[in-house]
């Protein structure tokens, strides 16, 4: 059976139709959707209607779940929340009922389809490196696992118990090897290429193709601009007419870890014949002028080395241009990229691997260094004064930090910040979130920007295994937020409980 596996369409009708045109031309027997049908884009009702007609199988994405109240919109960035509320108003009761009934994952023989990770699909965690992929492999016996969510094509292989990252290139799969296949994004590609991404798999020949399809960017630009509640997507911001504009483009952020609430159908189990039961040779949609397919990444070692040298050169220039302490002016809403991006990777480069903190400094203690965080934004940056490296120039409400780490067992942790806050700033409002839990608090001034002080801000219960902790401003700041050196987590004695005001369960 020849399968077209798509994900993260995000209500982008031209991109969706370009992919379907290519899948039909390739002779796909069935189309599988890995979720995030809606969200971000201006055509939610149209795309959802066509997906329901075209796809033989769909699983739930985090943006789909947001439409039916399965987790709080507080876990989205402000722009994503605004887009989600607008999207929900465009969907009728029948469309919402369809989304409500989607399973978190689906098994077809030895294939597993899921939006994000397999170990806890309701958590919508990201699979970024070999360690994350190993967790996914251990959580299922499926030989091939297809995932979306990252918006970037990827490929991992498990061979003799060892996991390795492979290049996302066309290949014939080895029968004795297990694979985890990231199909990228149809409607919101975030790898620096303004072309829809999906995967074509033929189980008869074991061939895997990473397909890219160009689509009408002008139509998308006009449609996004016409809806006030939608932020411009990364693929439009990354598509620039000049080299200077391309250099200035910023990678769009990943949404922080989300947690589905309520009882959802976890997994459906099917046979390949179930996918072929319906008439899959449906008449193609009207696809005139929707674009063509092209290869976009260099396929030679020399080409990839050249890309790496360009990325390193851009990073070196950025280091050379770093100035002194003055605060940057506030961005205007018309020109600032919405949401920001990991500031330490050049545009188009591979995202950094999830940061694992150093070994605990004391029994039951975890220290999350600011230098080890994934940074989403454009104004803050690393500095080194006042006793060590820290995040500074932080004054934009869109800028936030994310750490990923692992805890040995569920436990209550005291949360402390090693920070400095000075100048005319009397206090700063900050939010820390882990899963559905969050802490909201005000940090008092420490006198100046180099006077670092550790302050306990509350308690959170951390799960066993992979944990995602996020620190962001709580609302629009009046001035600088803080200089942050680290977040320290100290395990509390067994039986200790948090004070009622120390944590908030986001509903």
One digit per residue, pLDDT tens: the chain, 507 residues? Answer: 999 999 999 999 999 999 999 999 999 999 999 999 999 999 999 999 999 999 999 999 999 999 998 766 777 888 889 999 999 999 999 999 999 999 999 999 899 999 999 988 888 888 989 989 999 999 899 999 999 999 999 999 999 889 999 999 999 999 999 999 999 999 999 988 899 999 999 999 999 999 999 999 999 999 999 999 999 998 888 765 434 444 443 333 333 333 333 334 566 667 666 676 544 434 333 223 333 333 334 445 565 566 566 656 655 655 554 443 333 333 322 222 223 333 333 333 334 434 444 444 566 789 999 988 888 777 888 888 877 899 998 988 888 888 888 887 788 999 999 999 987 778 899 999 887 788 999 999 998 889 999 999 999 988 877 788 889 998 888 788 999 999 999 998 765 544 433 333 222
Answer yes or no: do 265 and 338 share one domain. no
H/E run at residue 23: helix 13-25
H/E run at residue 83: helix 78-90
Residue 27 in domain: yes
Name the pairing type of β-strands 267-270 and 153-159.
unpaired
Answer yes or no: do 268 and 338 share one domain. no
Answer yes or no: do 201 and 52 share one domain. yes
Answer yes or no: do 349 and 265 share one domain. no
pLDDT at 207: 97
What lies within 8 Å, CB to CB, of 334 at 6+ separation is none
pLDDT at 10: 97
Answer yes or no: do 331 and 261 share one domain. no
Residue 291 in domain: no
pLDDT at 409: 79
Residue 308 in domain: no
Residue 223 in domain: yes
3-state SS assignment for residue 461: strand
**DSSP letter, residue 353:** P
Residue 339: left if φ>0, alpha if ψ -120 to 50, beta else—which one?
left
Going 10 to 2 to 172 to 301, the CA torsion angle's sign is: negative
* Residue 447: other Cβ atoms inside 10 A: 12
Answer yes or no: do 247 and 358 share one domain. no
Q: What CATH number is attached to the domain comprising 127?
A: 3.60.21.10
Inter-CA distances, 258 with 286, 474, 506, Å: 36, 18, 11
Residue 207 in domain: yes
**CA–CA separation, 351 and 154 (whole Å):** 11
Residue 316 in domain: no
pLDDT at 218: 94
Q: Give the per-residue SS3 of 382-423.
A: EEECCCCEEEECCCCCCCEEEEEEEECCCEEEEEEEEEECEC
**CA–CA separation, 403 and 374 (whole Å):** 6
Containing domain of residue 259, as a range? 2-275
Answer yes or no: do 426 and 489 share one domain. yes
Number of H helices, E strands in the chain: 11, 25
Residue 302 in domain: no
Residue 314 in domain: no
Tell me which of 254, 275, 296 is where a domain ends: 275
pLDDT at 19: 97
Name the pairing type of β-strands 144-147 and 111-114.
parallel
Answer yes or no: do 247 and 334 share one domain. no
Given a contact cutoff of 8 angstroms between Cβ atoms, the answer to whether 47 and 83 are in contact is no
Q: What CATH number is attached to the domain comprising 457?
A: 2.60.120.260
What lies within 8 Å, CB to CB, of 472 at 6+ separation is 397, 399, 400, 401, 430, 431, 433
Answer yes or no: do 52 and 183 share one domain. yes
What lies within 8 Å, CB to CB, of 67 at 6+ separation is 38, 84, 87, 88, 91, 96, 99
Answer yes or no: do 378 and 262 share one domain. no
pLDDT at 42: 97
Answer yes or no: do 363 and 493 share one domain. yes
pLDDT at 438: 85
Tell me how many domains the chain contains.
2
What lies within 8 Å, CB to CB, of 295 at 6+ separation is 212
Answer yes or no: do 249 and 362 share one domain. no
Inter-CA distances, 371 with 19, 22, 381, 395, 484, Å: 39, 43, 10, 18, 10
């Amino acid at each position: 059976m020849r399968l077209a596996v798509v994900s993260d369409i995000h209500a982008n009708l031209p991109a969706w139709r370009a992919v379907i045109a290519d899948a039909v031309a390739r002779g796909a027997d069935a189309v599988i959707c890995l979720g995030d049908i809606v969200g971000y884009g201006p055509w939610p009702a149209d795309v959802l209607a066509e997906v329901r007609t075209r796809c033989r199988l769909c699983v739930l994405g985090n943006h789909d779940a947001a439409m039916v109240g399965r987790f709080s919109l507080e876990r989205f960035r402000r722009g994503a929340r605004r887009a989600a509320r607008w999207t929900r108003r465009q969907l009728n009761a029948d469309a919402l009922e369809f989304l409500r009934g989607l399973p978190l994952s689906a098994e077809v023989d030895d294939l597993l389809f899921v939006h994000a990770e397999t170990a806890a699909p309701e958590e919508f965690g990201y699979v970024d490196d070999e360690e994350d992929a190993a967790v996914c492999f251990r959580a299922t016996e499926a030989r091939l696992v297809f995932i979306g969510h990252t918006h970037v094509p990827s490929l991992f292989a498990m061979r003799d118990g060892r996991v390795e990252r492979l290049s996302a290139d066309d290949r014939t799969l080895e029968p004795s090897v297990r694979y985890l296949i990231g199909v990228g994004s149809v409607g919101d590609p975030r790898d620096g290429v303004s072309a829809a991404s999906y995967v074509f798999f033929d189980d008869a020949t074991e061939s895997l193709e990473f397909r890219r399809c160009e689509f009408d960017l002008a139509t998308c630009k006009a449609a996004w601009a016409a809806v006030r509640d939608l932020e411009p997507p990364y693929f439009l911001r990354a598509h620039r007419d000049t080299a200077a504009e391309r250099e200035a483009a910023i990678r769009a952020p990943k949404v922080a870890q989300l947690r589905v609430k309520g009882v959802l159908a976890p997994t459906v189990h099917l046979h390949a014949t179930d996918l072929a039961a319906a008439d899959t040779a449906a008449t193609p949609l009207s696809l005139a002028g929707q674009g063509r397919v092209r290869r976009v990444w260099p396929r030679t070692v020399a080409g990839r080395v050249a890309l790496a040298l360009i990325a390193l050169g851009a990073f070196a220039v950025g280091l050379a241009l770093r100035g002194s302490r003055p605060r940057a002016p506030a961005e205007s809403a018309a020109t600032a990229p919405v949401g920001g991006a990991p500031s330490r990777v050049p545009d188009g480069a591979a995202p950094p691997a999830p940061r694992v903190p150093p070994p605990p400094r004391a029994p039951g203690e975890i220290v999350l260094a600011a230098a080890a965080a994934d940074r989403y934004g454009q104004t803050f940056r690393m500095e080194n004064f006042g006793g060590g490296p820290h995040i500074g120039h932080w004054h934009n409400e869109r800028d936030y930090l994310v750490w990923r780490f692992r805890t040995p067992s569920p436990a209550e942790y005291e949360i402390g910040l090693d920070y400095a806050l000075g100048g005319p700033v009397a206090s700063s409002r900050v939010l820390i979130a882990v899963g559905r839990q969050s802490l909201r608090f005000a940090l008092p001034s420490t006198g100046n920007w180099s006077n670092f002080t550790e302050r306990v801000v509350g308690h959170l219960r951390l799960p066993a295994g992979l944990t995602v902790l996020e620190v962001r401003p709580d609302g629009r700041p009046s001035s600088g937020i803080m200089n942050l050196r680290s977040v320290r987590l100290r395990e509390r004695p067994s039986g200790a409980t948090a004070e009622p005001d120390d944590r908030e369960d986001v509903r």
